[in-house]
Structure 1
Amino acid sequence: MTKIGIGNDHAGVELKREITQHLQDQGYEVWNYGTDTEESCSYSDYGKKVAKAVVSGEVEKGILICGTGIGISLAANKVKGIRAAVCSEPCSARLSKQHNNTNILAFGARIIGPEMAKMIVDEWLAAEFQGGRHQERVDLLMAIEEE
């Protein structure tokens, strides 16, 4: 069973609940690294938690939700080994996995609704990294972390 870590700030609480249920209905094991209250908090804490869980292998993939998806993905991308992409529609989600081998998907609870979020998640999870010329580019991207 694939383990997916999900993290969110106060803006993403309700959408996290819907996405968690959607994933569990499909047989995924979901680990909650986010807040469960709508009390204001920092997205960076939760982006970092999920990113560390992905890098350590505690979970295989991550999903992050904040108001826009941008801040929480920026925090995750500061962790070595993470390739997080903010996606507001399914095509970008699929291509982020196929071409960039993303290991974290992010989106904004104030940007998209729950049905679009489910479509984005499904497309991302169904996609597979294509390797080849894309692997060369991912390697170059990851080499930046060593500079």
Structure 2
Amino acid sequence: MENDTYYLVGKIIESVQNIEHYLIEGTKIAKILNVFTKYKKVSPLYFQKIDEETKKLAEEMENMTFGQLMGIVRKYDVLPSDDMDYLESILSKRNQLVHRYFKYNEMNTCSEEIKIKYLTKFLEEAKAFQKYLNHVIGEMRIDLKNVIYE
């Protein structure tokens, strides 16, 4: 049973890292889409400048904490506020898992069965949000292609 706990923790961390990846990707696309929304037509030189800035921002975001990432995602309005609230709950659970799960806390007094149920539920939530984000980013990619090739 203990191996199940470690397996679930690893899968949760993997899923949350995938969410972070999608957030970075979405921010890159949102930044470029915002330029096209503001100006409608963009010169190739200006597009190149924005593209370089966006790549630099993405590199910086790769080294940010999840909380810092959330601030950038909010700044570029990548997701609606309801999604951001849900993401905050994932961040909170992830922080509890990463920073306090193995220290003494109320989870340590629970049975392995209860721990596994909690972790399984969290994994399902993280995977569902990861799948949703993948869909949202896919739609954003389509929007970006449409504005670039108009």
TM-score range, shorter chain: under 0.3
Greater relative contact order structure (CA < 8 Å, 6+ sep): 2
Tell me which protein shows more strand as a share of its residues.
1
* Length-normalised TM-score, structure 1: 0.28
Tell me which protein shows more helix as a share of its residues.
2
Q: Answer with 1 or 2: which has the greater Rg.
A: 2
